[in-house]
Chains A and B, each alone.
Chain A
Amino acid sequence: MKSQHWLWAASLTAYAFLYVPLAVVVLFSFNDSTLNAQWVGFTTHWYAKLLGDGEMLRAAANSVLIALLSSSIATVLGAMAGLAMHRYRFRFLPVLVLTPVAMPEILLGVSLLLFFRQVLDLTLGFLSILVAHITFSIGFVAVIVRARLAGMDESIFEAARDLGATPWATFRRITLPLIMPALVAGYLMSFTLSIDDFVITFFVAGVGVTTLPLQIYSMIKVAVTPEVNAVSTLLMALTLTLIFVASRFAPDVLKAKA
Chain B
Amino acid sequence: MRHLAWLLLAFLSAARAEDVLHLYNWNNYISDDTLARFEARCRCRVKQDYYSDNEEMLAKLEAGAIGYDILVPTGNAVESLIRRKALRDLDKSQLPHLSNLKPEYRRPWFDPENRHAVPYATTVTLIGYNVDRMKALDLPTDTWALIFEPRYLKRIHGKVTVLNSQRELMAAAMKYLGHSVQETDVAKWEQAKGLILRAKPYWATFSNSTYIKDLAIGNIWVAHGYSNDMYRAREDAKSAHRPFTIGFGTPREGAVLAVDNFVLHKSGRRPDLAHRFIDFMLEGPNAADVSNLIGAGNANAAATPHIRPEIAAEEGIFPSPQTLARLEMLRDFEPKMRRALSRMWTEIKVR
Contacts and interface: CB of A to CB of B under 8 A. Distances in A.
A39 interface: no
B27 A207 contact: no
Closest 3 CB pairs of A and B: A207-B67, A37-B217, A222-B27
A65 interface: yes
Chain B: number of interface residues, binned into ranges: 20 to 34
Interface of A: 33-37, 54-55, 61, 65, 68-69, 72, 113, 116-117, 121-124, 206-208, 210, 218, 221-222, 224
Interface stretch (B47-55, B120-128, B198-206): B47-55
B217 A65 contact: no
A69 B7 CA distance: 11
Interface string B1-15: 100100110010001
| Interface core residue of B15, B67, B208 (most chain A CB under 10 Å) | B67
Interface of B: 1, 4, 7-8, 11, 15, 22, 24, 27-28, 45, 47, 49-50, 52, 63-68, 208-210, 213, 216-218, 236, 239-240, 242
A199 to B, nearest CB: 15
10 contacts: A35-B236, A35-B240, A36-B213, A36-B217, A65-B8, A69-B4, A72-B1, A124-B63, A206-B66, A207-B24
A72 B52 CA distance: 36
Given A124-B65, A207-B68, A221 B4 contact: no
A208 B65 CA distance: 9
Contacts of B47: 55, 208
Given A37-B217, A221-B209, A68 B52 contact: no
Contacts of A34: 236, 239-240
B240 A206 contact: no
A88 B4 CA distance: 33
A124 B64 contact: yes
A35 B4 contact: no
Contact of B213 (A117, A210, A224): A224
A123 B64 contact: yes
Given A72-B1, A218-B50, 10 more contacts: A35-B217, A36-B213, A37-B242, A123-B64, A124-B65, A206-B65, A208-B47, A210-B49, A221-B210, A222-B209
A124 B217 CA distance: 37
A206 B64 contact: yes
B158 to A, nearest CB: 18
Nearest to B15: A208
A116 B65 CA distance: 12
Nearest to B237: A35
A93 B164 CA distance: 43
Contact of B66 (A37, A123, A210, A222): A123
A37 B65 contact: no
Given A34-B236, A69-B4, A113 B209 contact: no
Contact of A35 (B45, B50, B209, B213): B213
A37 B218 contact: yes
B240 A207 contact: no
A123 B218 CA distance: 42
Given A124-B64, A208-B47, A224-B213, A33 B240 contact: yes
Contacts of A117: 63-64
A208 B11 CA distance: 13
A208 B22 contact: yes
Contacts of B218: 37
A222 B65 contact: no
A224 B210 CA distance: 8
Contacts of B65: 124, 206-207
Contact of B63 (A35, A113, A222): A113
A69 B4 CA distance: 8
Contact of B64 (A72, A116, A221, A224): A116
A213 to B, nearest CB: 15
Contacts of A113: 63
Contact of B240 (A37, A55, A121, A124): A37
Nearest to A207: B67
A207 B11 contact: no
B225 to A, nearest CB: 13
A7 B321 CA distance: 71
B92 to A, nearest CB: 27
B164 to A, nearest CB: 11
Contacts of A207: 22, 24, 49, 65-68
B22 A65 contact: no
A65 B11 contact: yes
A35 B1 CA distance: 45
Nearest to A37: B217
Contacts of A208: 15, 22, 47, 49, 67
Given A124-B64, A124-B65, A206-B67, A222 B28 contact: yes
Nearest to A124: B64
A208 B210 CA distance: 23
A221 B212 CA distance: 10
Nearest to A214: B49
Nearest to A55: B47
A72 B216 CA distance: 46
A252 B217 CA distance: 47
A219 B222 CA distance: 23
